[in-house]
Amino acid sequence: MPAFEQRLSEYQPAALTVLRIVTALLFIEHGTQKLFGFPPVSYEITTLFFIAAIIELIGGILVLLGLFTRPAALILSGEMAFAYFLVHAPISFFPANNEGDGAILFCFIFLFLVFAGPGRWALDNRKRG
């Protein structure tokens, strides 16, 4: 492995942590938007959206903290797949046209976290004794 690639590989656990934290913060915003109207939302909140908001807020906080990361990320990945096919796909086949890009990206980032784990700085990494 070239020296440059080896050097970058040393930062992989920290980069994974940053990806997890930034993704969780962006995701939590969707939950707070539906639950608390912040940031302001322009659509009506239905029962299904309310349930999604609870999942987004609690799951997002768990992923942010790196606590139960893998099961939380699995649930969030599934929620985003469900949201894409329920809300976005009926509008258009193309994600660029149906505004489903975010749902797809969240789905696959959370799916990645299921397999990669939380990264270096996470409550999941604390010693159990």
Question: Would residue 127 count as lying in a domain?
Answer: no
Domain count, the chain: 1
d(CA 60, CA 26): 9
Question: Would residue 4 count as lying in a domain?
Answer: no
Question: Would residue 100 count as lying in a domain?
Answer: yes
| Mean of per-residue pLDDT scores for the chain | 94
Q: pLDDT tens digits, residue range 53-92?
A: 999 999 999 999 999 999 999 999 999 999 999 999 999 9
Q: What string of DSSP letters covers 25-62?
A: HHHHHHHHHHHH--S---S---HHHHHHHHHHHHHHHH
Task: Provide the domain limits for residue 107.
Answer: 23-118
Question: Would residue 88 count as lying in a domain?
Answer: yes
Residue 2 pLDDT exceeds 90: no
Question: Would residue 68 count as lying in a domain?
Answer: yes
Would you say how long the chain is, in residues? 129
Question: Would residue 7 count as lying in a domain?
Answer: no
Question: Would residue 14 count as lying in a domain?
Answer: no
Question: Would residue 54 count as lying in a domain?
Answer: yes
